[in-house]
Structure 1
Amino acid sequence: MTTLFPIPENHPQRFVLHNEVHARAPVVLNLPVRASHLALLLSSDEKMQERQHLAKLCERFGVTPPEKDADHFSATFNSFQIRWEQHGEFSTYSFYVQDTPRDPFTDPALKKVPVDWMSQLRGQVIVAAHASIVSAADIDYDESADLGTLSAYFADNPVVGSKVTGGAASVFTDFRVHVDGFSRFLIINHGLRTAQAGRLLQRLFEIEVYRVMALLAFPIARKLYPALNKSDRQLYTITNAMTLPDNNDGKLLDELTTLAAEVENYISSNHFRFAAASAYYQLVEQRVNDLREVRIQGIQTLGEFIKRRLEPAVNTCESVSRRFTQLSERVSNASQLLRTRVDSLIERQNQALLSSMALRAKMQLRMQQMVEGISMVAITYYAASLTGKIAEALHAVGWKVNPEIVEGVSIPFILIIIAIGIKRIHKIIASTTDHH
């Protein structure tokens, strides 16, 4: 890319990162409008296949399909608009039809989508919702009148709702899945602009998806609760046994190691789900704040309803996750204490063994010295005897020597020679050992 100024070349990701702020822009809608939203949990293979499936829909209506590496896509077909987004764990499809019948939910936007294409969508439905933006006159809405009449659009269920986006609209829902398998949002337009309508629908659908995704960790937390209590009791039993004087430290250390492995397995297997639950809950809170709700007298706001129902479940997940982390730390501390005790015991045993070996070596040295003394006497005896025999032989041939005197006189000299020899041998052995 040529530039007007002689600045350094662009970073390879500069424009991608710069334009990220414009990604996933809300759909511009003409009011009134009906919308249907699907959130599907997909495997890695299904994520690859859904782009091809989306391309088939585009080919049918002569629309340019999304690029191979695209993770969001918006397009207008003959009778409806579509918005597709691919997230880390799920993909969402939003369908918009820009007209509204008398009953907001009798003819949902999804009916405009080709049935054969819909039947081949991949994945598992985690959220399905219909929404309809109508004017107050369309449904004879009067805020000052009894809001109980709105329950008729929600199978006579109690509704929650509020004014949103600075009073430009009122939103109502019952947060229930109806007989058609879809939840419902009714938006009454008091002065929404086209961009506001797209953003409002997007936020409502995201609240619905993120709150359900946050709750995916809740069944896991309830399932893990008994295992957590069992591991906690097991740790207490082990640490209590550690205080007893006649415990088997080796056996306790084996039990602690097994317990540590079990706890770490629980943590590593479920860490992602609990971390995701916390992240999704934060997104729900953010989207609720983005609605800028104003209370309608007599009913709960969406934020109040969600907080009251969702917060305890998320807190339970966080509590289980936190307790497992704390349990892991406690097991680690107990293991460290027990290893210190075992190491100390081994060190004392080694010291006792070394002391025993030193005493044995000292005794061997004394015995060796005693044997050397006896050996010197024996060698002297035999050497003196040999000297005496030699003297006798010399006397026999005529030498004037007394064999007994020669033998007796030779004894001190023989002792001195043997002592010097043994001392030299000791020096040779010592020098050889030092070199090695």
Structure 2
Amino acid sequence: MIACWFQRAWIDNQWQHDVRLTVTEGRISALETGVGAAPGDERHAAALPGLCNVHSHGFQRGMAGLSERRSRHDDNFWSWREIMYRFLDRLTPDDVAAITAQAYAEMLEGGFTRVGEFHYLHHDPAGRTYADPAEMAGAIVDASSATGIGLTLLPVFYAHGNFGGASPSPGQRRFLSDIDGFAALLDSARTKLVGDANIGIAPHSLRAVAPDQLTALLAMSPIGPVHIHAAEQEKEVADCIAWSGARPVAWLLDNAALDARWCLIHSTHLDADEAARLAASGAVAGLCPITEANLGDGIFPAIDYLAAGGRFGIGTDSNILIDAAGELRALEYSQRLAHRARALLAGTESPFVGANLYARALAGGGQALGVEPGLAVGQPADIVSLDLDHPSFAGTDDATLLDRWIFAGRAGTIDCVWRAGVKRVAGGRHVDRSAIAAAYRKSVERIVA
């Protein structure tokens, strides 16, 4: 059992003062407000519930910064994808574990305490199934165990190269499954989970999964999260219309019975009808604004979607730069650039953008990963403490604290992070950062040599 006392803590989407949390076996066993610290308590300034990262491809952390050179006159997502295929050709399970651990350590340092790993790198470099079909999933579990981050494993089903059952490209050979092979992979992956890790399924996209396969996948996994890429690129929308006569999100709304266990990743290119219907479905939009900016995807219609009651979570996707506050900041700034106005994602009951974004991302992220977020008795002790002695917080009050962190904070604003009651970050650094970084460097230097 441990106990921590905070000058203030974010509870039920508002700051409470003089808060004492008692943690037993990784969960909050007592929560008191308006009390003093007891002898032996750890004392900190401000506690936030950790955020869920709804969308990660852990291995892509190793190629961050390697695709920023113009290779052709029309560089875009599709040319970036070819670079990604070349990078992953040399990855072993040990490489995936080492690279993903680096990403997960950075997530913890940046304010995430659970990650949804959209895991599609299943097979060996020749595209053959490992003796254990979930060998690579085991590497993801190893990375989560090494860093301590909470894990929602999302094994990906991938069968085709484009809409209408088009043949996959050679670069996709490490991803591919049929329904029976994926069932075996999923069964093996379930046996590898430890602690409070959970599992869902991820039909990759309507480009990669035929309608009958989507039906079979949903029957295979009748409970738990369902994540799918949707409408990330304009070309994807055009190709979907050519195949089906409908836009991707409209097709899913009409044919897949979307509900609260679904998370549609990106959903960048929604028309007004899709935005309203997606909001009404109860599904979550999984937004990754930093990656979406890096890839030139476009801007999610957040104002209309949120006005319709839509739910969202945030993710780091390609892990080009891992920072929870940065994702929220990029989401608001994308709207400001598109609409040439300010403070666009403030709530109707709160004029402060940061508090509104954090509350929505907390709730939507938890829903998308199948967990209950927040600081409450019975919940995992997933806690992020902010260092209010940091210059970014000078003169702050309750109303502006989250705005200062999200819009004006720099490195060093996060002090400590506890995941399931274990302190994984202290003084802004993951407690095992040196060993994790050394293994990461070894793998990446071999891969890019």
TM-score by length of 1: 0.24
Structure showing the higher strand proportion among its residues = 2
Structure showing the higher helix proportion among its residues = 1
Bigger radius of gyration, 1 or 2? 1
